Amino acid sequence: MRRTTAKLADGREIIYFDDTEDAPARTAVDTRDLPEQKPSSEIRRDPLTGEWVAMASHRQTRTYKPPADLCPLCPTTPGRPTEIPESSYDVAVFENRFPSLSQHVPPVPSTVDGLPMAERRPGYGRCEVVCFTSDHNSAFAALTPGRVRTVVDAWADRSAELGALPGVEQVFCFENRGEEIGVTLHHPHGQIYAYPFVTPRTERMLATAKEYRAQHGTHVLGDVIEAELAQRARLVATTEHWVALVPPAARWPVEVILAPRSQCADIPELTPAQRDDFALLYLDVLARLDRLYDRPLPYIAAWNQGPVHAPKELSWLHLQVFSVLRTADKLKYLAGSESGMAVWINDATPEQIAERLRAAGS
């Protein structure tokens, strides 16, 4: 794979990851006349829950559902420059033009006016866009295993580099797919957030892993994987280095976890063999998801990586893939119990979900 870095017209970084043998040198120049970026993100700590909330009012003007011929993630063509100056690309990563978090945010007061218990900080961090392919009409599920491997290498590269930035505590790679999820750009792409705090979900998982290790001397996810491989009721598919299973307390009507059989804390720690093997399993799982309702399934694919400064033994890398679609034409809405109290109610059991996904195999 060849890695090339360049700058966009407003100074943002763009990085090309090429696996095509005869890919041209990435020398194209961004000819757009872009205004200077002035992100105004901040984060505030909820005094009742202790959780950080990001606020980025400048994102109200971001691109919203453009027609295909105006897609900003497609390659540049004569007379129509885009976010990617090249006329073609394999995988491209660039700084988000409308970031929720940025390295260039102004200072803010340390607390909310009149509320000394409500802490306030600049929304420091970084947000990047990952374009999986230059083909606007494709999808992650349509990539070749080799291209998926390139994407994994790009995730690893960015996770390591963003995690080394001062003030970054956690790196989150994810993909949103489908309008039901809230996608406003249909070109196959994902995003990466570098947070200045550890996210609430990760804090909870670290606390649980620490308590479990103190009691049993092992990692809870490792023991779950071992038990599921023996019991198989919630197992979806396996490969030499990975397992795909429905979590035993699944929240979503469709939910799968992909995890390596051996513990590693983050994507950069994956070996070449694990990266190749992941590509095979993930493409298998995505094909099953699309066969569930004979339509492209809207989903969120969320990488759970260990925070930058957390003990490595408490984190076990895994990808959580879930959908809001509970039937071919019905959505699961987060209503009173889920949204108000964070108590989830699922209309299907994990065993039923796993059985359907196994049946959807080729």
What is the set of active-site residues?
189
Residues comprising the binding site? 71, 74, 136, 187
Q: What 3 state SS string does the chain have?
A: CEEEEEECCCCCEEEEEECCCCCCCCCCCCCCCCCCCCCCCEEEECCCCCCEEEECHHHHHCCCCCCHHHCCCCECECCECCCECCCCCCEEEEECCCCCCECCCCCCCCEECCEEEEEEEECECEEEEEECCCCCCCCHHHCCHHHHHHHHHHHHHHHHHHHCCCCCCEEEEEEEECHHHCCCCCCCEEEEEEECCCCHHHHHHHHHHHHHHHHHCCCHHHHHHHHHHHHCCCEEEECCCEEEECCCCCCCCEEEEEEECCCCCCHHHCCHHHHHHHHHHHHHHHHHHHHHCCCCCCEEEEEECCCCCCCHHHCCCEEEEEECEEECCEECCCCHHHHHHCCCCCCCCHHHHHHHHHHCCC
Distance between CA atoms of 277 and 79, rounded to whole angstroms?
A: 41
Residues comprising the binding site for Zn(2+)? 71, 74, 136, 187
Residue 229 amino acid letter: L
